[in-house]
Amino acid sequence: MKARVYVSMKPTVLDPQGQTICNALHGLGHKEIAGVRQGKYFEIALSPDTPRDSAVQLLDSVARDVLSNPVIEEYRVDLLD
Amino acid sequence: MKARVYVSMKPTVLDPQGQTICNALHGLGHKEIAGVRQGKYFEIALSPDTPRDSAVQLLDSVARDVLSNPVIEEYRVDLLD
């Protein structure tokens, strides 16, 4: 079983890295770009005998406690197959 | 118009960061986790008057030339309207 966890800054938190990328793209002439925000994602493989229910719980706790900082970041878990 | 660009290591390239996360999760007792690979993603906002065709082209060239290193990374572009 595979899952993807997406972690990004909360919308209210400044993202200087995304801002820098946006400025660089403007400098390269891509004026159509109105804004960029950067996040990270994790592709997680689970052992195939993990029941789906416990996989959802496990991934949620891993995303909340280990992969993201809940003070400034939000996360989203996508379970594939 | 919004788009997401996902950049990750090619499957043949070692991902020490993902490996470290995987080891840490095992250390925390999450033995169900078989593997972790880390990537990054970019949420890109385009000005609303950009035609869809040129948006696809623009995003592809930005993803290839600026956001990823095509020697070791691969990318995927998702256009959300």
Q: What is the pLDDT of residue A50?
A: 87
E strands, B1-81, in order = 2-9, 33-46, 73-80
Contact (CB, 8 A) for B24 and A33: no
Of A32, A59, A38, the residue nearest B41 (C-alpha): A38
From the list B36, B37, B58, which residue is nearest A30 (CB)? Answer: B58
CA A54 to chain centre: 21
Interface ipTM: 0.83
Contact A46 B62 (CB under 8 A): no
Q: Tell me the chain A residues in contact with residue B62 when contact means C-beta distances shorter than 8 Å.
A: 25, 30, 33
Q: In degrees rounded to 5, what are phi and psi of residue B65? A: -90, -30
Q: What is the pLDDT of residue B81?
A: 75
Please name each of the domains of chain B with its CATH number: 2-80 (3.30.1280.10)
Residue B71 has pLDDT above 80, yes or no: yes
Tokens of A59: 């991934």
Give the tens place of pLDDT for each residue, B32-61: 999 999 999 999 999 998 898 999 999 999
Placement of tokens 């959802």 in the chain: A56
Q: What is the pLDDT of residue A12?
A: 94
Q: Provide mean pLDDT across the span B55-76.
A: 94
Tokens of A78: 């996508």
Q: What is the pLDDT of residue B14?
A: 94
Placement of tokens 């030339």 in the chain: B65
Determine the distance in angstroms separating the CA of B74 from the nearest CA of chain A, rounded to an integer: 14
Q: Burial letters for A41-53: b for 16+ Cβ neighbours within 10 Å, e otherwise?
A: bbbbebeeebeee
Placement of tokens 């594939």 in the chain: A80
Tens digit of pLDDT at every position of chain A (81 positions): 899 999 999 999 999 999 999 999 999 999 999 999 999 999 999 999 889 899 999 999 999 999 999 999 999 999 987
* Among A residues 29-68, those touching chain B with beta carbons less than 8 Å apart: 30-47, 50, 54-55, 58, 62, 66-67
Element (H, E) at A53: helix A52-62
Contact (CB, 8 A) for B81 and A68: no
Tokens of A77: 């878990």
Q: Tell me the chain B residues in contact with residue A55 when contact means C-beta distances shorter than 8 Å.
A: 32
The percent of residues in chain B predicted with pLDDT above 70, rounded, is 100
